[in-house]
């Protein structure tokens, strides 16, 4: 079932790039990112209130807060850079470079999480890097 969500994530990410490129015309990329973030905030909390128990927030360990906070910081910085890149470049170039995050995540998961680098994962990362180079050069 994970792959269904991963595929939907890819579809929504592709839509994000195209819709954002249209939406940022004549707007600061930082303001555009802030607007997008508010929408995401409302949607995410709406889902928590609909599906989950929002009081669980009070039982989270400090370790969880720290790493989710750092993840949020990384996400915010990624979005700010992504929107600025979209404002300056073509979607067909920005999106593939952004997806280098997949190859980087594979490497970081090996180094920091101790995940095993399989031949399949290494080949996939190499193909992503190669494909990105082809699209941006």
Take residue 68 and report the two structure tokens written for it: 């989710």
List the domain boundaries for the chain. 2-89, 99-137
DSSP per residue over 40-89, as a string?
HHHHHHHHHHHHS-GGGGGG--HHHHHHHHHHHHHHHHHHHHHHHHHHHS
3-state DSSP call for residue 114?
Answer: coil
pLDDT of residue 2: 87
pLDDT of residue 53: 86
The gap from C-alpha 33 to its chain's centroid, in whole angstroms, comes to 13
What's the CA gap between 57 and 79, in Å, rounded?
A: 25
- Within the chain, which residues score under 50 in pLDDT? none
What's the CA gap between 102 and 121, in Å, rounded?
A: 10
């Amino acid at each position: 079932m994970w792959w269904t969500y991963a595929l939907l994530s890819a579809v929504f990410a592709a839509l994000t790039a195209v819709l954002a490129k249209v939406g940022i015309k004549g707007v600061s990329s930082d303001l555009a990112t802030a607007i997008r973030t508010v929408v995401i905030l409302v949607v995410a909390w709406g889902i928590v209130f609909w599906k989950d128990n929002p009081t669980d927030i009070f039982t989270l360990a400090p370790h969880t807060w720290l790493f989710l906070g750092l993840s949020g910081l990384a996400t915010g910085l990624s979005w700010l850079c992504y929107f600025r890149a979209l404002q300056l470049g073509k979607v067909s170039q920005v999106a593939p470079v952004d997806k280098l995050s997949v190859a980087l995540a594979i490497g970081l998961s090996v180094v920091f999480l101790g995940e095993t680098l399989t031949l399949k994962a290494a080949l996939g990362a190499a193909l992503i890097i190669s494909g990105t180079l082809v699209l941006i050069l």
